[in-house]
Amino acid sequence: MENNNEKNNNRRLRPSNPDNKNPKQNYNMYWVYLVILALLAGMFFWGDNTNVKEVSWSEFQQYVSDNRIKAVNIYSNKDIAEGLVREESVSYIFKENAAQVGNKPYIQVNIPSTDAIEAFLSETKKEKGYDISWNYKPSSNFWTIFLTFVPILLLIVFWVWMVRRMQGGGAGSSGVFSVGKSKAQLFDKDTGQKVTFKDVAGLSEAKEEVQEIVEFLKHPNNYTNLGGKIPKGALLVGPPGTGKTLLAKAVAGEANVPFFSISGSDFVEMFVGVGASRVRDLFKTAKEKAPCIVFIDEIDAVGRARGKNANFGSNDERESTLNQLLTEMDGFGSNSGVIVLAATNRADILDKALLRAGRFDRQIYVELPDLNDRKEIFRVHLRPIKIDDSVDVEFLARQTPGFSGADIANVCNEAALIAARSKKKFVQKVDFMNAVDRIVGGLEKKNKIITQHEKRSIAIHEAGHATLSWFLEHANPLVKVTIVPRGKALGAAWYLPEERQITTKQQMLDEMCATLGGRAAEDVFIGQISSGAMNDLERVTKQAYAMISYMGMSEKLPNLSYYDSSGQDYTFSKPYSDNTAQLIDFEVKAMIAEQYERAKKLLLEHAEGHGKLSTILIEKEIIYADDLEHIFGKRPWISRSQEILENKAAEEDEVKSEAKEVATFIDTNKFGSAYSKSESDDLLKKDEQKEKKVKTEEGHEIKNVEEKEENKNDQNEPAKKDSTAD
């Protein structure tokens, strides 16, 4: 019941769309069905409940003679008469009970004429004295006509309404007749909120790439006058949440042109030919709005590489959609002024025909933000948040390596929610740290029941990770360690991953050794191992297999890589023999065993510090890098990010010092110059005279060279004069 109430509240609290000038009326279609049902029920219950039987003229005369007719209605203009049957004669005429026949049973007869039936009725009443009456009526009453034609009219109205609804003219989504229409949403200057490059933080390289598209849409003559052509399309490639869709919207906002947005899955339906029809309709509409931008999000849903086998694993509908898209982008037709932007995080599975020049002319890689980009993204998302002086943007950027733009937005929102739960007026640094922990590690479970023995085992495990990460050069620097359960983990250690461009074998081995530190600590200091290292073993095994089979970092299998960069994994066969597979397994086991023994050796060397660290961890439950520095001393190595920041600071100091020297030199020349203004003017005049003299001499020498070349009397002179002229 609570969930239903929440759903109803959400429905009532939906905000209105102020940007839509013609909003659709939301009404419940069940009211239409209820009205139709009520009309039919009224016709059934309150209608003229009559039963009519057609008889011949002779039968009618016989019934009147037998006094079985109570009254007669004569319709003069139609030569029809209706006789009301007496109650006691209903079963005789209709062969049924009176309850089955109805309240007013009639017989209907075609009369020869009104005079004939009137004469017959008068004669019968006079001879036999029956109580029979007759009267004249027009063709029929209104109620009879209404009951006759209203059901037909209702059916017609219902059919027209259903057709309009299927064509998209009614409320709700489009139906059968509009199934081939494009579902693209149009954003122009009159609809929606305008997004520009100012709203896109980071992505400096990607913005430079798409800036050319914006300039072409703004000033096409600058390119067409030189013979240049508009690029057909650009493919935005990158991990999820990096801002591909936002960048495409910013391009449309900067160019101030119509922007069609559609998802790749919107082209595919259960009906054959629908996808291709929607592609045609999309580009037809785009040509009418040209110049414009068509943005296809998640294009891998329709642009997946076509199979070689037409009968196995193929999808004709998807392939026909892809073929139509290829034709529209670069076929015989002209799409002048229509630029196609597409986004995907699976560029490796796209069809090669889609990626060739002339369709997607360029691929723009939108990668995960680095340190500087994360600082800009944090500044954008911190604008609406009330923060205090304790929040350091640079610190937050360093604490979130590998986070995408969407992840950073989630961190800022989560920090605001945490501060609101604590009734704070401002969001503080500790709220952001808790938000990062909440997103990375999961929800903190302080009430989870753990015995003292289990707590000690977890502390020794996590202290093993921390100790090895402190003494291994290339291990990721530690941020904090906790034994408070989070998510599915009973303990966790937070590190700052090094954002390396390339990684050496020794760096990977150090990371592997640090990861095995928890299992090694259990083995050395407890004497038995537990299931707590399952995740560590999984990571180590995958890393070892990648190093040996993909990166060629094995002594027995050097310089060999069995990695398939096309994204089509080896399903039915492997690119190596069974003997090679056994050798890979042997090398993986040997590498992991070597690093495990190395981890145990380092822990034995620093057993005292590890014991102190685990004791503090049991008492405080959370320790930070400062605690490790207090126990083990200062770390012999600095992190890569810290090194980059120090180099950057040194460069900034050097630039400042050079600028200071230049400013001092300018001030010195301004106030302590050796020459006065008049003397400097005289020097300038002398320099100008010298330049004129040199030019005159050069001209004179060139003239002499030309005269002597014409005479050609001396063969040695031309070489001399050529060298002089040079």
Q: What is the set of active-site residues?
A: 462
Q: Quote the strand ranges of 299-424, DSSP E.
A: 338-344, 362-365
CB atoms within 10 A of CB 294: 26
Cα–Cα dist 376/393, whole Å: 9
Q: How far is CA 379 from CA 197, 374, 383, 424, 426, in A?
A: 15, 9, 6, 21, 16
Cα–Cα dist 501/506, whole Å: 15
Q: How far is CA 601 from CA 467, 517, 598, 661, in A?
A: 12, 10, 5, 54
Q: Which DSSP string do the residues of 246-293 spell out, in sequence order? A: HHHHHHHHHHT--EEEEEGGGG--SSTTHHHHHHHHHHHHHHHT-SEE
CA-based nearest residue to 496, from 634, 396, 432, 401: 401
Give me the sign of the Cα torsion angle 512, 513, 517, 519. Answer: positive
CA-based nearest residue to 340, from 261, 278, 276: 261
Tokens 């509009």 locate to: 178
Q: Which DSSP string do the residues of 104-130 spell out, in sequence order? A: EEEEEEE-S-HHHHHHHHHHHHHHH--
Cα–Cα dist 578/546, whole Å: 18
Which neighbouring-strand residues pair with 623? 481
Cα–Cα dist 158/164, whole Å: 10
Q: Read off the tokens for 38.
A: 């009520």
The rounded radius of gyration (Å) of the Cα atoms in the chain is 45
On whether the CB atoms of residues 211 and 309 are closer than 8 A, the answer is: no
Please, is 634 exposed, middle or buried when counting C-beta atoms within 10 Å of its C-beta (0-12, 13-18, 19+)?
exposed
Encode 375-394: b = buried (16+ Cβ within 10 Å), e = exposed. Answer: bbbbebbbeebebeeebeee
Give me the sign of the Cα torsion angle 365, 366, 368, 370. Answer: positive
Cα–Cα dist 599/363, whole Å: 44
Encode 640-665: b = buried (16+ Cβ within 10 Å), e = exposed. Answer: bbeeeeeeeeeeeeeeeeeeeeeeee
Amino acid at 315: N
Q: Read off the tokens for 382.
A: 């911190």
On whether the CB atoms of residues 400 and 374 are closer than 8 A, the answer is: yes
Q: Read off the tokens for 21.
A: 């000038």
Which DSSP symbol is given to 340? E
Q: How far is CA 420 from CA 274, 385, 411, 424, 643, in A?
A: 49, 11, 14, 6, 37
Q: How far is CA 319 from CA 269, 325, 437, in A?
A: 13, 10, 45
On whether the CB atoms of residues 622 and 482 are closer than 8 A, the answer is: yes
Q: Read off the tokens for 653.
A: 């100091």
CB atoms within 10 A of CB 560: 17
Cα–Cα dist 151/43, whole Å: 9
Cα–Cα dist 11/4, whole Å: 11
Q: Quote the strand ranges of 513-586, DSSP E.
A: none
